[in-house]
Amino acid sequence: METTAVAVLFGGRSSEHSISSVTAGGVLRAIDRDRFRVIPIGITRDGAFVLEEDDPDRFALGDDLPEVVDNGTRVLWPEGGVDRVLRVRHVDGQVESLGTIDVVLPILHGLHGEDGTVQGFLDTLGIPYAGAGIIDSALCMDKHFMKIALQAAGVPVAPGVTVRERTWRTAPESVLEQARSVGLPAFVKPARAGSSVGVSKVTEQTQLPDALALAFAEDDKVLVEQAIDGREIEVAILEGSDGVVRASLPGEIVLTTRDFYDFEGKYLGGDGVEIVCPADLTLGELNDLRALGVQAFEAVDGRGLARVDFFLTPEGLIVNELNTMPGFTPISMFPKCWIASGMTYPELISELIDTAVARG
């Protein structure tokens, strides 16, 4: 059987570089080698495209977070038009053909990868790619505009305000006044970062200046949102190769001793967090979560996949955010939700690639 050439793209210039690299290790280990010829392409923290080793263990999560290092190679993308030949320039200057590329699997998290930039680049070259497109990537990367799109579609979101770093520099009291108007407890988060980088939970007004400074170190636009008292439920959304959008069984994040689901809890095995999948829900709650997950996906013009994060409160559902390239290791919530729904991890990877190929 003829194999499909898949470029697995990972790393990148964002603060989530290492998480993307960990995701790559999981994908390289599980992808169906009988169906797919894999070309691993890493993006260094400086933005260089390098040909990486096809070695899942190289990007396993250990004592140190993995990263893409500059090995001196440079991946030369096709010139566009009918040309889809991928090439690599080695350290000695020799250029080698890697063959025709059929599809790109961009497992990039954060800016310069999950925000529509890489998607636009691949669209310009005419190379099919898995996952989200330009619009949904850009919208969901910016939580401010994501909330505007969701509200316009009638999807409930957490109350809050957006503040800017330039105002923080010139009129900090004005920013603090806006932040205080949200009430306590509140979350302060960068508008365009993920993996809970730069996020703080504020329970006292005196904590606001430090929380804002931490968030502004990541982004010049920051959200201050009312903390919602509810169960944290996540639903995985998948657009199949048949064009049908469907929602998985939901999973739940149960916090025991941790204030919120922060970076350490997500990726470093921190105590105080339990992932339950599938979540213990009534049939009505399950149906409402799935339906609102699909509605939120369509509200941002979703393509390929997304994870929709909810708060389930006594008053109803609130959408916290959508993630167009969620954590994708075998132990991440997105794959766990689909595994609980009857799909294996390798099948999930194949479905994403098949959908991209079918879309052309």
- What confidence score (pLDDT) does residue 172 get? 95
* 3-state SS track over 99-151: EECCEEEECCCCCCCCCCHHHHHHHHHCCCECCCCHHHHHHHHCHHHHHHHHH
Asked if residues 208 and 202 have their Cβ atoms less than 8 Å apart, the reply is yes
Q: Judge whether residue 153 has pLDDT over 60.
A: yes
- Whether residues 262 and 327 share a domain: the answer is yes
Instruction: Choose the weakest-confidence range: 217-226, 228-237, 251-260.
Output: 251-260
- What confidence score (pLDDT) does residue 345 get? 96
- Whether residues 41 and 98 share a domain: the answer is yes
- What confidence score (pLDDT) does residue 268 get? 46
Give the mean pLDDT of 230-236: 97
- Whether residues 298 and 151 share a domain: the answer is yes
- Whether residues 216 and 288 share a domain: the answer is no
Asked if residues 221 and 160 have their Cβ atoms less than 8 Å apart, the reply is no
- Whether residues 153 and 243 share a domain: the answer is yes
Give the domain-ending residue among 110, 129, 148: 129
- What confidence score (pLDDT) does residue 258 get? 45
Give the mean pLDDT of 318-329: 93
- What confidence score (pLDDT) does residue 272 get? 64
CATH number for the domain harbouring residue 179: 3.30.1490.20
Q: Judge whether residue 194 has pLDDT over 80.
A: no
Give the mean pLDDT of 244-272: 70
Task: Give a yes or no: residue 34 inside a domain.
Answer: yes
Question: What is the model's pTM?
Answer: 0.90
Task: Give a yes or no: residue 146 inside a domain.
Answer: yes
- Whether residues 342 and 201 share a domain: the answer is no
DSSP state of 52: P
- Whether residues 86 and 46 share a domain: the answer is yes
Task: Give a yes or no: residue 10 inside a domain.
Answer: yes
CATH number for the domain harbouring residue 266: 3.30.470.20
Residue 351, domain extent: 139-157+229-359
By residue count, the chain amounts to 360
Please name the helix (run of DSSP H) or strand (run of DSSP E) that holds residue 50, with its range, or none: strand 49-51
Q: Judge whether residue 278 has pLDDT over 80.
A: yes
- Whether residues 186 and 147 share a domain: the answer is no
Total domains in the fold of the chain:
3
- What confidence score (pLDDT) does residue 262 get? 47
Give the mean pLDDT of 107-132: 94
Q: Judge whether residue 44 has pLDDT over 80.
A: yes
Task: Give a yes or no: residue 134 inside a domain.
Answer: no
- Whether residues 332 and 345 share a domain: the answer is yes
Name the one residue in this structure whose structure tokens are 């369509």.
298
Determine phi and psi for 92, rounding to 5 degrees: -80, 5
Q: Which of 318, 311, 166, 159 is nearest to 223 (CA)?
A: 159
- Whether residues 216 and 99 share a domain: the answer is no
Instruction: Choose the weakest-confidence range: 59-63, 216-220, 306-310, 324-328.
Output: 59-63
Q: Which of 349, 328, 192, 184 is nearest to 266 (CA)?
A: 328
- What confidence score (pLDDT) does residue 360 get? 80
- Tell me the pLDDT band of 265, cut-offs 50, 70 and 90: very low
- Whether residues 237 and 333 share a domain: the answer is yes
Neighbours of 326 (CB within 10 A): 23
- Tell me the pLDDT band of 82, cut-offs 50, 70 and 90: confident
Give the domain-ending residue among 200, 226, 252: 226
Give the mean pLDDT of 153-174: 96
Q: Judge whether residue 120 has pLDDT over 80.
A: yes
Give the domain-ending residue among 209, 226, 243: 226
Q: Judge whether residue 12 has pLDDT over 80.
A: yes
- Whether residues 269 and 146 share a domain: the answer is yes
Task: Give a yes or no: residue 72 inside a domain.
Answer: yes
Q: Judge whether residue 248 has pLDDT over 70.
A: yes
